[in-house]
Amino acid sequence: MAKNEKKEEGKKGGKGSKIIIILLIVIILALAGAVAYFAVFAKKGSTTKTAQVQQAAVQSNEEATYTFEEILTNLADQDAQRYIKVKVSLGYDSSNSKLKSELEDTKEDIKAPILESEIVKILRNQKAADFSDPKKVEEIKKQILDNVNPHLKNGVISNVYFSELLIQ
């Protein structure tokens, strides 16, 4: 009987150590997964200039806008001829008078046609269905920000607004 008791104790000890090893492996894999996630997907410590301006505009809640004339352009749909008719407004920090004068300048360094051309270029690459998906609309607005801001010398645009949006 002593032999049977020792065998049972050995089996119990073996099961316990196997469970501990499995738990350690699971914990190590979980930690490795967490480290990999943060290494790949986490935002970097420094924010971009546009992100800083957007945060400042939201915090100050004082935003001015520059609105373009109505834009009418074709969309990229292949199945049918579609077009978009939209008014686009660019939001910026209202305390930045230099940016305001740069956007509204009509004599020296005229920005409006350049900025409008960038907006049209982005809109023409979209499909009608893209404007029914809120996430895609936000991506379009981000593309506009990314393409418009490099042309500005005295500040950055923090928001893009669509109004009078019509897709035919």
DSSP category for residue 125: T
Residues 38, 66 share a domain: no
Report the distance separating Cα 119 and Cα 126, nearest Å: 11
Residues 54, 16 share a domain: no
- Does residue 143 carry a pLDDT above 80? yes
Domain count within the chain: 2
CA–CA distance from 127 to each of 68, 81, 135, 136 (Å)? Answer: 21, 10, 14, 10
Residue 136 pLDDT: 94
The burial of 157, by beta-carbon neighbours within 10 Å (0-12 exposed, 13-18 middle, 19 or more buried), is given as buried
- % of the chain beyond a pLDDT of 90: 45
Residues 31, 8 share a domain: yes
Residue 102 pLDDT: 87
Residues 122, 75 share a domain: yes
pTM of the model: 0.63
